[in-house]
Amino acid sequence: NQTPGTPRSTREWQAADSAHFLHPFTDHQALAAKGARVITRGEGIYVWDSEGHRILDAMSGLWCVNVGYGQPALEDAALRQMRTLPFYNAFFQTTTPPAVMLAERLAGIAPGFKHVFFSSSGSEANDTNIRLVRRYWDLMGQPQRQVIISRRNAYHGSTLAAASLGGMPAMHAQGGLPIPGIVHIEQPHDWAHREGAARGLTRDDFGRLAASWLEDKILELGSETVAAFIAEPVQGAGGVIVPADTYWPEVQRICERHGVLLISDEVICGFGRTGQWWGSQTFGSRPDLMTFAKGITSGYVPLGGVMVGERVAQVLIERGGEFEHGYTYSGHPVACAVALANLDLIEQLGLVQRVREDTGPWLARQLATLQDHPIVGGVQSCGLMAAVQLSREPRTGAAFDPAHAIGMVCRRHCFDHGLVMRAVGDRMIVAPPLVITREQIDEMMGLVRQALDRTW
Ligand code: PLP
């Protein structure tokens, strides 16, 4: 039993949880009525709850446990670093070896990037992006370039600024978001636009059309006011929206044409998820900045940051003086030591290549067998992230009545049968640990099919 403190019964954990723990993105009355599921340990692609049930974690925790649970190399790295130097900051002209080594290492795996700014999370890293791009344009003598364009349903984090960058209507409905200077365009979601803009278009033509919405917005605002465009290579929390191959190259051309900085939010897509180190490599874009978090440490400890391309880094370094921004834990030595061990392991196990050449294509093939299921309207995947679109009538693409919350029903069936899957509206999502094998993908897909059968 790896549970900290005195062992307690599930009911005792749940009672204390309800009494004291305010959870992220949670309806607490609903939680109290049911009681939280208490997850006590993990191994490989599985976790166990306090009742001893084994659960296949097809969401890698929260899109982060890329090397799977229970990797001794990461645990040892943390312990070694804690014993040597548990913390020192990178303010005031000091540095630490793990942070230097990680910065150097990241520059080696991110083509075109030599510099990194560390944070503890993806949200903080995106706040850093806002500071960086606005500072860049100030230093370039174009302070009017303030606006950042993002996409509807994007998720870029939960701080005030990152939630504003994101395009989640439910988040914007609380607390007066978005903050000024951020505007949103539609995402390249062919299913959502099937009755509208995408009607009658090939997937490639729709990709080009969706990219053109960025240029329309830049022209509407005036390119002299636009600082940057931010997007996830594949929108993750928005429902694993895999864009057509035509989308990103066209976005790249548009940003270049108008001098707009391109920020690729790689918090989910980075570190092998799409079959390359970075999602932008998979889709052939060349961003100026890249946000990362999650997979950098496989979630074992919090760490995030921004890869800063030379266009921005040189201006910041040569003309910027002191950059008035940073976090206590920027370059935290324990987090950086774990990240280094994590990157070593990803390389030793050949995970990026394995996703690209083996497990990614295998998942795509297994997903395709769901196409004939009576409530599956379509499937999409990129590497080891995938979506199953539920439909009341796949032949016509008719949607379920939202009142049925069909995705949540399906998710509950999954959970009851030992599978963690995520529901985004009517899209069922998987993003398993990158260590998953073909046999385990088959096991996962068997559970997915069972859940779909029960939902139907
Ligand atoms: N960006 C993307 C694409 C994400 O998916 C997330 C989290 O899911 C974030 C940013 C925010 O990261 P964090 O939760 O570490 O702040």
**What is d(CA 364, CA 387) in angstroms, rounded to the nearest whole number?**
10
Mean pLDDT by 10 residues, the chain (456 residues): 73 96 96 95 97 97 98 98 98 97 98 97 98 98 98 97 97 93 96 90 97 98 98 98 98 98 98 98 98 98 98 98 97 98 98 98 97 95 98 91 91 92 95 98 96 93
Which ligand 1 atom sits nearest the alpha carbon of residue 293?
Answer: 15
Whose C-alpha lies nearest to ligand 1, atom 13?
A: 122
Residue 1 is predicted with a pLDDT of 46
Q: Where in the chain is the domain with CATH 3.40.640.10?
A: 73-348
**Sequence-ordered list of residues with C-beta below 8 angstroms from that of 82, at least 6 positions apart, any chain:** 334
CATH of region 37-67+350-455, choose from 3.90.1150.10, 3.40.50.150, 3.40.30.10, 3.90.10.10: 3.90.1150.10
**Cβ of 304 less than 6 Å from ligand 1:** yes
Cα(395) to centroid(ligand 1), Å: 35
Whose C-alpha lies nearest to ligand 1, atom 12?
A: 122
Cα(420) to centroid(ligand 1), Å: 19
**Cβ of 155 less than 6 Å from ligand 1:** yes
pTM of the predicted structure, to 2 decimals = 0.97
153: nearest Cα among 375, 387, 434, 383: 387
Cα(291) to centroid(ligand 1), Å: 9
Q: In the numeric block, which tokens belong to residue 15?
A: 């009672």
Per CATH, domain 73-348 is 3.40.50.280: no
Report DSSP letters for 380-406, one per residue. EEETTEEEEEE-SBTTTTBPPPGGG-H
**Cβ of 267 less than 6 Å from ligand 1:** yes
Task: Specify which residues 428 forms β-bridges with.
Answer: 388, 423
**Cβ of 156 less than 6 Å from ligand 1:** yes
Whose C-alpha lies nearest to ligand 1, atom 10?
A: 156
ipTM here: 0.99
**What is d(CA 80, CA 346) in angstroms, rounded to the nearest whole number?**
20
Cα(90) to centroid(ligand 1), Å: 23
**Cβ of 266 less than 6 Å from ligand 1:** no
**What is d(CA 101, CA 342) in angstroms, rounded to the nearest whole number?**
13
Report DSSP letters for 32-55, one per residue. HHH----EEEEEBTEEEETT--EE
Cα(255) to centroid(ligand 1), Å: 23
Q: Where in the chain is the domain with CATH 3.90.1150.10?
A: 37-67+350-455
Which ligand 1 atom sits nearest the alpha carbon of residue 121?
Answer: 15
**Cβ of 121 less than 6 Å from ligand 1:** yes
Which ligand 1 atom sits nearest the alpha carbon of residue 236?
Answer: 5
**Cβ of 268 less than 6 Å from ligand 1:** yes
Q: Are 131 and 164 in contact (CB under 8 A)?
A: no
Residue 403 is predicted with a pLDDT of 87
**Cβ of 270 less than 6 Å from ligand 1:** no
143 backbone dihedrals φ, ψ, rounded to 5°: -65, -15
Cα(133) to centroid(ligand 1), Å: 19
Cα(394) to centroid(ligand 1), Å: 32
**Cβ of 61 less than 6 Å from ligand 1:** no
Is the peptide bond preceding residue 169 cis, with omega within 30 degrees of 0?
no
**Cβ of 237 less than 6 Å from ligand 1:** yes
Q: In the numeric block, which tokens belong to residue 265?
A: 């939010």
Pocket test of ligand 1: the residue of 127, 153, 156 to mutate, having most ligand atoms within 8 Å of its CB, is 156
**Cβ of 178 less than 6 Å from ligand 1:** no
**Cβ of 232 less than 6 Å from ligand 1:** yes
Letter for the amino acid at 335?
A
Cα(163) to centroid(ligand 1), Å: 10
Letter for the amino acid at 74?
L
Provide the 10 A C-beta neighbour count for residue 239: 25
